[in-house]
Amino acid sequence: MKKLLAFFSLIIPFTSFSQSSSISTIPLGASSRLSFEGDLQSILIGQGAGNINSTGQFNTYIGSLNGSNNTDGKRNVAIGSNAGMNNTSGSYNINLGVIAGLQNLEGLGNINIGDGAGYSDLYGDYNVRI
């Protein structure tokens, strides 16, 4: 238990945010989403995760810079450093692996599994890459 408390005491001081309404979002990590303007209901873990998200909801970003350019994309999952980093408004995407889905801007319903999977696809919809 002491190790777990020590872990959180190292992470939480680097995470700051302000809120203007009901929030169910969990931000952990330096520069992970600094302010919220709605009920985003997202999990943002890692440096810069979900950093500029404004209206996107139900996103899960775990890893450095995951979803850092997302503004209004919804229901995305990105796990692995820089996964889904350039997504702005794409929704229902799953990116698992380092730089998986990195360049996707507005694509819908893509599944990218593995390091670099779907790296260069900008607007594709409903693709599966393993």
| 10: exposed, middle or buried (Cβ count in 10 Å: 0-12, 13-18, 19+) | exposed
The residue segments making up the domain with residue 71 are 20-101+108-130
Q: Residue 92: is its pLDDT beyond 60?
A: yes
Specify the higher pLDDT residue, 125 or 20. Answer: 125
Q: Please state the pTM of the whole predicted model.
A: 0.76
* Structural domain contains residue 119: yes
Give the pLDDT band (50/70/90) at residue 14: very low
Domain count, the chain: 1
pLDDT tens sequence across 22-63: 456 666 665 555 555 555 788 888 888 888 877 888 999 999
* Structural domain contains residue 56: yes
pLDDT tens sequence across 97-126: 999 999 999 999 999 999 999 999 999 999
Q: What is the pLDDT of residue 37?
A: 56
Q: Residue 72: is its pLDDT beyond 70?
A: yes
* Structural domain contains residue 3: no
